[in-house]
Structure 1
Amino acid sequence: MAQYNGNQPIFILPEDTQRFLGRDAQRMNIMAGKILAETVRTTLGPKGMDKMLVDSMGDVVITNDGVTILREMDIAHPAAKMLVEIAKNQEDVVGDGTTTAVIIAGELLKKAEELLDDGIHATTIVRGYRQALNKVYEILEDISIDSKDQDTLIDVAMTAMTGKGSEKAKKPLAELIVEAVLKVEEDGEVDKKNINIQRVSGASVDESEIVNGILVDKGKADSNMPKEVKNAKIALLKYPLEVKDLETDAKINLTSPSQMQAFLDNEEQMIREMVDKIIASGANVLFCQKGIDDMALHYLSRAGILAVKRTKKSDMNRLEKATGAKIITNVDDLSKDELGEAGIVYEKKIFDQMMIFIEESKDPKAVSIILRGSTRHVTSEIERALEDALGVVAATLEDGKVVIGGGAPEIEIARQLKEYSETISGREQLSVNSFAEALEIVPTTLAENAGLDTIDILADLRAAHEQSAFMGLDVFEGEVTDMKVAGVVEPQRVKKQAIQSAAEATEMILRIDDLIAARGALEAVDKDDNLDDSGMPPMGAMGGMGGMPPMM
């Protein structure tokens, strides 16, 4: 980039730096957001389609989960990455609604582009969008229902799982999720980390079950160890039961067989002392986060201790929570006061996997769900559906507020926003109205993905909402119906977070009027030669969307 002082150019950035100014920068960023939204749009709703994603190693993921798709795609464009971030944030905060957040953001950008073309400044659009968002919060409170009884929680879970590969056993899976959440709920809050979903292929989905305790997907460390221990005293050890390797390069010169034997005897003695300390504590079950030496396994087996090695950190934390044990970092610190308790610990084979079950715990604020499925791909997709359901059930239990689904809240919010826009003077009125129209992309997409006529459906929905705020689209019957009666409900937090995230990401993108990129960040664009008739650089000049084929 150069500034000219007379005939002498003054370079303030490297010559190969790319720069897009004003409307060119806005068009590029808006286009990237629109393309990303179109990519995931077909996955929305019960009739949404799946995406097959293949990485460079040939691993296949088949899913219609929005955040999984966006994570697996190798997104390169910086504006598109911003929308990926809102999807990840949506997943982290509420666990569902990621696709909704992205397609609303894409539609808000599309409407903003139309306003920009009409000569309305980006700052005015942003100001109008902010006014609309504040009004959305008010409307959401008005149309929300206070409820967190068990039937509502099951309906919320079923709504979240609909169309995500779990149709066959949607009701029993929803009941499993609600039971698990209620078991780990403490003082109105739910820590989802205390619910472990363990996938096991080789059976039908409806054979999934809940374990009232902890499930560790490992077998016992030695075949001679007991398969079952009752009245278990559990030790959790972060320290490896192995002789430490020397941390520096060193040589030990052994000049006779007796010295070699003395060296080995010393190692054995060290290991024996560590095992003796475990035995002395009274432990009869040991979970070790690190490795266990073969000699240590031999002594543990002789002492009748059931040991598991290389236990995952997340499992160690759950065991600590459920059994009352303390994770020990040094075996010298182990005593009976650090041990946890469980009624029974046993090993069991499920299909082809050996697993350890810890049941009848002291404080079972941690549970496990064994998820069955015919293949690895099936169980992976159903696990994603269960994780979404976990998030929405937890949000409902914590907030106690739900909204009716099936596109009903978006239509009602849009209707009230349009009425609100008429009370605003100035160009912000157009922005508020555009915000309202953008929200209608949700029921429109639901209809499209179900193969229905979007114009007729949208007209029917608008007319129905003159009478009731609970009218939504039943995609299975292809008609507008009362979704409250149908039991289609979502947490208020999901809807609120999705609209808020979409609005904030849109605002950030619209405020960018100068894009400066180092060579390689974006592919070369000659603004004079490469702009199409709309003034928009072609997609090939936008750095692409990672490894995806062109989508123009």
Structure 2
Amino acid sequence: MQGQRGGGPTVVLSEESERASGEDARAMNVSAARAVADAVRTTLGPKGMDKLLLDSSGNVVVTNDGVTLLEEMDIDHPAADLLVEVAETQEAEVGDGTTSAVVLAGELLAEADDLLERGVAASTVTAGYAEAAERAQAFLAEHADPVDPDDTETLEAIAATALSGKGAEAAQDHLASLVVAAVEVATRPDGGVDRDAAVVRSFPGGSLTDSRFVDGALVDVDAPHEGMPRQFEDASVLVYEGDIEAPEVDDATATVGDFEAAEAFVEREQAELDGMVDHLVGTGADVVLADGGIDDRALARFADAGVLALRRVDEEDRAHVAAATGATRVSSLADATAADLGHAGRVEQERIRAYGYTHDAEPERTFVFSDGAGGEVGTVLLRGGTEHVLDEVERAVTDALGVVSAAIECGAVLPGAGAPEIELAGRLRDYADGVEGREQLAVEAFADALDVGPRTLAENAGHDPIDALVALRAAHAGGDGHAGFDADTGGVLDAFEAGVVEPLRVKTTAVEAAMDAATMLLRIDDVVSASDLP
């Protein structure tokens, strides 16, 4: 405990406490945050490298997805955790651009560190950064081009851009078309996109080109009775939120005194169970999905009636089937009626996997519900040779679904390949000339930090970053706002013509999140840690 008389401040800390103040606190935070940014920087762009992560249990993750890397890494520093939040925010908002946002945040901190070393106050830097970010949002909106939800070509280019550099190049255009098909199904009349209705399901085996779009939903369970049908045309579907089993009876009331009484008791249970099945069959259902279990007697009765009854179908699958078929999810079996039924043009069991989990196991079978009356779910069914490859492609496809959805919702797109960063940096430098005081230096630093995007693209592609920046700045100064970096040649390309396109929201969200994280860290002048604060 440290104290001070005469009205001065009193600080009470445990003996185990560690404290860093002023310059030391800032340097520690900036160093930790930049270390996180540097860790993911080499993964940026179509030529970015992958990381292999190995946990204590021996599980392996191979990825270059920014948010996955940061979530899997063992990060134990509060400042570094803020950059993880940047990635998570970017992922939640638009589904892609996580690495770009984190790298930009790290570069903003590096530029700010230089200004602070030159005697510029932290409050001045944060004020200048806030002003620069506000102007950046306006500049980006001016630079964006409109996109129509029906512009399939542009939407597929957006999806392909998100898929580049993530192990999906062999089937990039094919997967992009599947992504756009799924998002189109998930787009609502008001222009919004139901992200939960654009589903990704992956199955080991086959190749990426075997992936396909299903206009509907999948239920990855086998029929529980061999006598049940496996295929329907124009099927009526009932989704039941419960189990179909004999009702449980309290032990105190279930005591019977002789064989005849016991037999009568069992018969009553069976009669009740038969009544449940008969009621569901009477609604006209061809397929029944149950949340819980289904009694063996009930399964046999369903099979005799020509009804497919699937038990223990998980929440997500039940929701998808209900949305795809237009079924009303029934919570009370007795209240189920024909009005609750959904309809699918086709229900069919398919052997999607080439093998089971073990070589001697039967290949697993999956039911596909397609051409549903609800029409509100689209599924991208992914195939891949190995689980590690498939996991990475699934992450890439999920990101692509996010950016295509964002493009439809915001209705505006930007050229990719570093073009918006170069254009924005040039405009901010021009704007900085009219900013008074030392905040001008912060605005210029913000513009310099934006160069990290195209510079990193060049470095990761094996080209000279200085030459790349010089060429890009010259092109934009000459009025070519779509000029981006060509990772193959090291030269300049028209990003739109090359099909490198991103939603406006990806950039605006990245700029805002990076600025927020950087300014929050710059405001910290005291870091206290202890094993047990009083």
TM-score in same-fold range (> 0.5): yes
Contact 1:233–1:284, Cα closer than 8 Å, also in 2: yes
Does residue 218 (structure 1) correspond to residue 224 (structure 2)? The answer is no
1:269 equivalenced with 2:277 (yes/no): no
For structure 1, which segment, 489-498 or 180-189, has the greater mean C-alpha deviation from structure 2 after superposition?
A: 180-189
Q: 2:115 and 2:334 mapped to 1: Cα distance?
A: 70
- 1:163-217 residue CA offsets vs partner (Å, 9 max, x unmatched): 1111011111111111222222222221121122111111111111111222222
Q: Distance in 1 between matches of 2:105 and 2:313?
A: 42
> What is aligned with 1:182?
184
Cα drift, residue 508 of structure 1 = 1.2
The Cα shift of 1:260 comes to 5.0
The percent identity for this pair of structures is 43
- Show the counterpart of 2:382: 371
What does residue 410 of structure 1 align with? 421
**Aligned counterpart for 1:389 among listed residues 400, 405, 410:** 400
Secondary structure of the residue that 1:353 maps to in structure 2? coil
1:491 aligns with 2:503: yes
Kept in 1: contact 2:425–2:450 (CA 8 A): yes
Q: Cα deviation per residue 1:77-135 (whole Å; 9 max; x = unaligned)?
A: 11111111121111111111000000000111111111111121111110000110111
Q: Which residue of 1 aligns with 2:358?
A: none
Aligned to 2:502, the other structure's residue is in SS state strand
Q: For residue 328 of structure 1, give the secondary structure of its aligned residue in structure 2.
A: coil
- 2:342 maps to which residue? 340
Higher deviation after alignment, 226-235 or 201-210: 226-235
Which amino acid in the other structure matches residue 322 of structure 1?
A
Alignment check: 8 A CA contact 1:198 1:217 kept: no
**Is the aligned partner of 1:95 residue 2:107?**
no
Q: Partner amino acid for 2:215?
A: N
Residue 435 of structure 2 is aligned to residue 435 of structure 1: no
Q: What SS is found at the alignment partner of 2:102?
A: helix
Kindly provide the amino acid, as one letter, of the partner of residue 189 in structure 1: G
Q: Does 2:530 correspond to 1:518?
A: yes
Q: Is the 8 A contact 2:23 2:525 kept in 1?
A: yes
> Structure 1's 473 and 2: CA in aligned 2 closer, same or farther, altered over 3 A?
same
Give the partner amino acid of 2:388.
H
One-letter amino acid of the structure 2 residue matched with residue 289 of structure 1:
D
**Is the Cα contact below 8 Å between 1:240 and 1:290 reproduced in 2?**
yes
Match of 1:20 in 2: 20
Q: Which residue of 2 aligns with 1:231?
A: 234
Instruction: Please name the residue that 1:526 is paired with.
Output: none
Distance 1:191 1:509 in 2: 35
- Pairing partner for 2:458 from 439, 447, 450: 447
Q: CA deviation at 1:458?
A: 1.5
Q: Which residue number in structure 1 is paired with residue 146 of structure 2? A: 146
Q: Are 1:200 and 2:211 an aligned pair?
A: no
Partner of 1:549: none
Question: Unpaired segments of 5 or more residues in structure 2?
Answer: 355-362
Residue in structure 2 matched with residue 57 of structure 1 by the alignment: 57
Name the CA distance, whole Å, in 2 between partners of 1:245 and 1:127. Answer: 67
Quote the residue 2:293 is aligned against.
291
Q: For the structure 1 residues 79 and 358, does the alpha-carbon distance in structure 2 shift closer, same or farther, using more than 3 Å as the test?
A: same
Equivalent residue letter for 1:484: F
Q: How far apart in 2 are the matches of 1:26 and 1:198?
A: 45
User: How far apart are the structure 1 equivalents of 2:246 and 2:4?
Assistant: 70
C-alpha separation between the residues in 2 aligned to 1:259 and 1:250?
15
Which digits, 9 at most, give the CA deviation of each residue in 1:400-456, with x for residues without a partner?
211111111111111111111111121101111110111110011111111111122
Q: 1:88 to 1:520 in 2, by over 3 A?
A: farther
Note if contact 2:155-2:404 (Cα within 8 Å) is conserved in structure 1.
yes
481 and 342 in structure 1: CA distance in 2 versus 1, 3 angstrom threshold: closer
- Aligned counterparts of 2:20 and 2:243: Cα–Cα separation in 1: 56
Comparing 496-505 and 175-184, the one that deviates more: 175-184
3-state secondary structure, aligned to 1:512: coil
Give, in whole Å, the separation in 2 of the partners of 1:275 and 1:431: 72
* Matched AA of 1:493: R
Tell me the SS of whatever aligns to 1:485.
coil
| TM-aligned CA distance change 1:462 to 1:361, over 3 Å | same
Alignment check: 8 A CA contact 1:44 1:100 kept: yes
Picking from 390, 394, 399, the partner of 2:410 is 399
Which digits, 9 at most, give the CA deviation of each residue in 1:267-295, with x for residues without a partner? 43332232222122221210112222222
Counterparts of 1:459 and 1:123, CA distance in 2: 32
Q: Work out whether 1:460 is the aligned partner of 2:471.
A: yes
| Aligned equivalents of 2:269, 2:72: Cα separation in 1 | 47
Aligned to 2:359: none
Partner of 2:244: 241
Label 1:259 to 1:83 Cα distance change in 2 as closer, same or farther (>3 A).
farther
The runs of 4+ residues in structure 1 deviating greater than 6 Å are 249-252
Structure 2 CA distance for aligned equivalents of residues 460 and 267 of structure 1? 81
CA distance in 1, matches of 2:263, 2:530: 64
Given that 1:47 and 1:450 are in contact with CA atoms closer than 8 Å, whether structure 2 keeps it comes out as yes
Report the Cα distance in structure 2 between the residues aligned to 1:27 and 1:273, rounded to whole angstroms: 73
The SS at the match of 1:406 is coil
Asked whether the 8 Å contact 1:18–1:519 carries over to 2, the reply is no
2:280 is matched with which residue? Answer: 278
Q: Would the alpha carbon gap of residues 378 and 276 (structure 1) be closer, same or farther in structure 2, given more than 3 Å must change?
A: same
Distance in structure 2 (CA, Å) of the matches to 1:263 and 1:83: 64
Q: Secondary structure at the match of 1:71?
A: helix
Whether the 8 Å contact between 2:181 and 2:378 is mirrored in structure 1 is no
Partner of 1:535: none
User: What 5-or-longer segments of structure 1 have no aligned partner?
Assistant: 522-552
Aligned equivalent of 1:106: 106
Q: What residue identity is the alignment partner of 2:368?
A: F
| 8 A Cα contact 2:185 2:198, kept in partner | no
Q: Which of 353, 366, 382 is matched with 1:355 structurally? A: 366
Question: Match of 2:36, as an amino acid?
Answer: L
Give the letter aligned to residue 322 of structure 2: E
- After the TM superposition, which residues 473-512 of structure 1 pair with which residues of structure 2 at under 5 Å, given as runs? 473-512=485-524
Q: Distance in 2 between matches of 1:244 and 1:107?
A: 64
Cα contact 2:241–2:292 (8 A) shared by 1: yes
Matched, 1:303 2:305: yes
User: How far apart, in 1, do the equivalents of 2:379 and 2:36 lie?
Assistant: 36
Going from structure 1 to structure 2, the CA distance change for 1:72 and 1:245 (only over 3 Å counts) comes to: farther
Q: What is the rounded CA distance, in whole Å, between the counterparts of 1:265 and 1:54 in structure 2?
A: 57
What CA distance in whole angstroms lies between the structure 2 residues aligned with 1:479 and 1:171? 24
Which moved further from structure 2: 409-418 or 508-517?
508-517
Contact 2:412 2:504 in 1 (8 A): yes
Separation of aligned partners in 2, 1:111 and 1:246: 72
d(CA) in 2 for partners of 1:77, 1:94: 26
Given that residues 48 and 163 in structure 1 are in contact (C-alpha distance below 8 angstroms), is that contact kept between their aligned partners in structure 2?
Answer: yes
Report the AA paired with residue 228 of structure 2. M
In the other structure, the counterpart of 2:175 is 173
What letter matches 2:242 in structure 1?
Y
